[in-house]
């Protein structure tokens, strides 16, 4: 490859900058306002140089970054400083003692978190944990089973509404009988899991014949129909106003003040996250998990190997829905208020983004992705109105530079004993 001169690069960036100035001119420089049926346009010439210079610098940086990215992809095994430190750190972390102690340290930090930081941060972390459970659940469907689901929020909603409706219809008789309403949480938790699972199976029955993006769009349709039904059946579910004053979980019959209640739910969330991680890992390594992976790779070949695709797809949806149901109850208990707006298509998309950005099919990836996607907007609050713009840009950048996700799935590798092979 011949070395390019910096001048041609700068020239190209100038051309790009000119393109962007023209492209963004109507939207950036002009601002429209309509009064009495006539559009009035106000010019903001001061933004023009900003757009030009910004586009020039960014396009130059972008070019270099893309080239760097390609080079990095080309020879991954090169002895760069970065990859060497990574290898050293990896080898160090692989030692059992280091591993265990770092896990313990992490656990200690997680447990100490609500006492170190305030209630606000605890609540943010609870939300993040709810999304971790959701992402892990969706990871079974998308990552393991390879079935794109764009209506996952509906199962989340089924869970939340199970608890909400329990409170609305069973709650009064609990109060009348003098039983602590906090028990409802513990009853709803398994119940929501079961009901969501049933919904998952019900939904997957008609879609078994579909594949790929047809499946995606039909799950999207089911999700939206669920939301609209919740919204419009106001007699049964409270309609758009939703259900409020949902009780917090039972804690030895005590009424906890908000801060303690948040801490309590935080610990329930941690426990549920740990259980989820444990179960999901066991699923991945089980016969079912391997069958699901085979289905993801190739449905026809998988069927030829004697794996029942219908059963597999049912299992995938059922397992995924179960965790969403659990997360829904947790969410209802944390916010004590639910309405259909929490279960929109947008919610499904965010959960899907968490899975893909973390690394489709990878458990640490799903955890990392969910935490990243939920914490970024929280801590971007300082940027107020630019928050979502930066969020979107961050998504694009992450996925372009890490198309496999932040923590990509590692394939299980089975190594032979070298001596035996090279005999």
Rounded to the nearest whole angstrom, what is the least distance from the CB of residue 300 to other proteins in the complex? 5
Site for other proteins in 339-358 (CB under 8 A): 345, 349, 352-353, 356-357
**Which residue among 78, 232, 254, 286 contacts other proteins (CB under 8 A)?**
232
Rounded to the nearest whole angstrom, what is the least distance from the CB of residue 233 to other proteins in the complex? 10
Question: How many of the other CB atoms lie within 10 Å of CB of 179?
Answer: 13
Pairing label, strands 38-43, 243-244: unpaired
Site for other proteins in 374-413 (CB under 8 A): 385-386, 388-389, 391-396, 399-400, 403-404
**DSSP code string of 261-318:** HHHHHHHHHHHHHHHHHHHHHHHHHSHHHHHHHHHHH-HHHHHHTT--HHHHHHHHHH
3-class SS at 39? strand
Q: Which stretch binds other proteins (CB under 8 A): 118-126, 160-168, 271-279, 293-301?
A: 293-301
Task: Output 29 or 256, the one with its CB closest to other proteins.
Answer: 29
Task: Output 194 or 389, the one with its CB closest to other proteins.
Answer: 389
Helices (H), 2-148: 6-28, 47-74, 81-94, 96-116, 119-138
CB 357 within 8 A of CB 372: yes
Task: Output 260 or 387, the one with its CB closest to other proteins.
Answer: 387
**Which residue among 301, 311, 379, 383 contacts other proteins (CB under 8 A)?**
301
Q: Is 310 in the site for other proteins (CB under 8 A)?
A: no
Question: How many of the other CB atoms lie within 10 Å of CB of 124?
Answer: 16
Rounded to the nearest whole angstrom, what is the least distance from the CB of residue 40 to other proteins in the complex? 6
Q: What are the phi and psi torsion angles at 209 (to 5°)?
A: -80, -20
CB 345 within 8 A of CB 153: yes
Task: Output 213 or 285, the one with its CB closest to other proteins.
Answer: 213
Site for other proteins in 8-67 (CB under 8 A): 19-20, 22-23, 26-28, 30-34, 37-41, 62, 66
CB 336 within 8 A of CB 245: yes
Residue 159, burial from CB neighbour count under 10 angstroms (0-12, 13-18, 19+): buried
Take residue 325 and report the two structure tokens written for it: 């149901």
Site residues (vs other proteins, CB under 8 A)? 19-20, 22-23, 26-28, 30-34, 37-41, 62, 66, 69, 142, 148, 206, 209-211, 213-214, 216-218, 220-222, 224-225, 228-229, 232, 298-301, 304, 345, 349, 352-353, 356-357, 360, 385-386, 388-389, 391-396, 399-400, 403-404
């Amino acid at each position: 490859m011949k070395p390019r001169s910096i001048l041609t690069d700068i020239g190209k960036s100038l051309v790009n900058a000119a393109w962007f100035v023209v492209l963004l001119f109507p939207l950036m420089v002009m601002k429209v306002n309509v009064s009495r049926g006539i559009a009035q346009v106000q010019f903001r010439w001061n933004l023009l140089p900003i757009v030009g210079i910004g586009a020039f610098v960014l396009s130059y940086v972008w070019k270099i970054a893309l080239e760097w990215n390609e080079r990095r992809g080309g020879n991954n095994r090169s002895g760069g400083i970065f990859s060497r430190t990574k290898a050293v750190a990896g080898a160090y972390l692989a030692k059992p003692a280091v591993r265990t102690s770092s896990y313990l340290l992490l656990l200690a930090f997680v447990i100490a978190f609500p006492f170190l930081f305030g209630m606000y941060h605890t609540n943010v972390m609870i939300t993040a944990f709810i999304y971790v459970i959701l992402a892990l659940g969706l990871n079974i469907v998308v990552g393991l089973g390879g079935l794109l689901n764009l209506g996952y929020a509906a199962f989340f909603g089924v869970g939340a509404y199970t608890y909400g409706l329990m409170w609305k219809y069973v709650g009064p008789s609990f109060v009348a009988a003098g039983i602590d309403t906090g028990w409802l949480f513990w009853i709803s938790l398994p119940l929501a899991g079961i009901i969501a699972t049933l919904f998952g199976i019900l939904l997957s029955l008609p879609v078994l014949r579909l594949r790929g993006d047809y499946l995606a769009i039909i799950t999207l349709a089911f999700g939206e129909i669920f939301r609209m039904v919740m919204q419009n059946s106001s007699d049964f579910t409270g309609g758009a106003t939703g259900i409020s004053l949902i009780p917090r979980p039972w804690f030895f019959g005590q009424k906890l003040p908000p801060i303690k209640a948040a801490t309590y739910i935080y610990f329930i969330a941690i426990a549920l996250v740990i259980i989820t991680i444990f179960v999901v890992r066991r699923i991945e390594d089980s016969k079912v998990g391997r069958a699901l992976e085979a289905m993801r790779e190739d449905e026809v070949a998988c069927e030829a190997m004697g794996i029942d695709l219908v059963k597999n797809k049912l299992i995938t949806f059922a397992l995924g829905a179960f965790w969403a149901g659990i997360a829904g109850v947790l969410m209802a208990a944390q916010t004590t208020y639910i309405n259909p707006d929490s279960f929109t298509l947008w919610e499904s998309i965010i959960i899907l983004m968490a899975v893909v950005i973390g690394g489709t099919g990878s458990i640490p990836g799903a955890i990392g992705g969910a935490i990243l996607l939920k914490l970024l907007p929280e801590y971007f609050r300082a940027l107020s109105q630019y928050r979502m713009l930066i969020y979107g840009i961050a998504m694009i950048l992450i996925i372009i530079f890490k198309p496999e996700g932040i923590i990509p799935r590692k394939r299980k590798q089975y190594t032979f004993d070298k001596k035996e092979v090279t005999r």
